[in-house]
Amino acid sequence: MSKKSTVKEASSTAATNHAQAPVNARLSAEERIELFRKMVRIRRFEERSLRAYQAKKIGGFLHLYIGQEAVAVGCCSLMGPHDHVITAYRDHGHAIAVGMDTKPLMAELYGKATGCSKGKGGSMHYFDPSRNFWGGHGIVGGQIPLGAGLAYALKYKGLKGAAMAFMGDGAVNQGAVHEAYNLASLWNLPVVFVIENNGYSMGTSQARSSAGELAQRAAGYDMQWGQCSGHDVYEVRAMMDKFLTLARENNRPSTVEINTYRYRGHSVADPDNTYRSKQEIEEYRRTRDPIQLFQDKLLAERVLTAATAEQIDTEARAEADVAADFSEASPFPTPADIQTDVYWEADNPADRRSQGRLFFT
Partner 1 sequence: MPVITYREAVRHALAEELERDPNVVVMGEEVAQFNGAYKVTEGLLARFGPQRVVDTPISEAGFIGVGIGASMLGIRPVMELMFWSFYSVAFDQILNNAANVRYMSGGQIHCPIVIRGPANGGTNVGATHSHTPENVLANHPGVKVVVPSTPADAKGLLKSAIRDNDPVFFLENTMLYGEKGEVPAGEHVIPLGLADVKRPGTDLTIVTYGRSVLHSLAAAEVLEREHKVSAEVLDLRTIRPLDVDAVLRSVAKTHRVLIVEEQKPFASVGSQLAYMIQREAFDELDGPIHRLATIDAPAIYSPPVEVEQLPNPRRVLQAALEALG
Tell me which residues touch partner 1 (CB under 8 A). 84, 86, 115-121, 125, 127-129, 134-139, 142-154, 156-157, 175-176, 179-180, 182-183, 186, 339-345, 347-348, 353-360
Total number of residues shown for the chain: 361
Q: Count of CB atoms within 10 A of residue 20's CB?
A: 10
Q: Write out the E strands in 198-299.
A: 200-201, 204-205, 224-229, 254-259
CB of residue 51 vs partner 1: minimum separation in angstroms?
Answer: 25
Residue with smaller CB distance to partner 1, 151 or 256: 151
Residue with smaller CB distance to partner 1, 283 or 345: 345
Task: Tell me the CA distances in angstroms from 12 to 78, 106, 228, 254, one per residue in order.
Answer: 19, 35, 6, 18
CB of residue 39 vs partner 1: minimum separation in angstroms?
Answer: 26
Residue with smaller CB distance to partner 1, 135 or 290: 135
Exposure b/e, 313-336, CB count within 10 A at least 16 = b: beebbebbeebbebbeebeebeee
CB of residue 271 vs partner 1: minimum separation in angstroms?
Answer: 28
On the question of a cis peptide bond just before residue 136, with omega within 30 degrees of 0, the verdict is: yes
How far is it, in rounded angstroms, from Cα 189 to Cα 152?
Answer: 6
How far is it, in rounded angstroms, from Cα 7 to Cα 18?
Answer: 21
How far is it, in rounded angstroms, from Cα 126 to Cα 108?
Answer: 8
CB of residue 85 vs partner 1: minimum separation in angstroms?
Answer: 12
Residue with smaller CB distance to partner 1, 20 or 340: 340
Residue with smaller CB distance to partner 1, 115 or 230: 115
Residue with smaller CB distance to partner 1, 205 or 340: 340
The sign of the torsion formed by the CA atoms of 91, 93, 99, 100 equals: positive
CB of residue 248 vs partner 1: minimum separation in angstroms?
Answer: 16
CB of residue 183 vs partner 1: minimum separation in angstroms?
Answer: 5
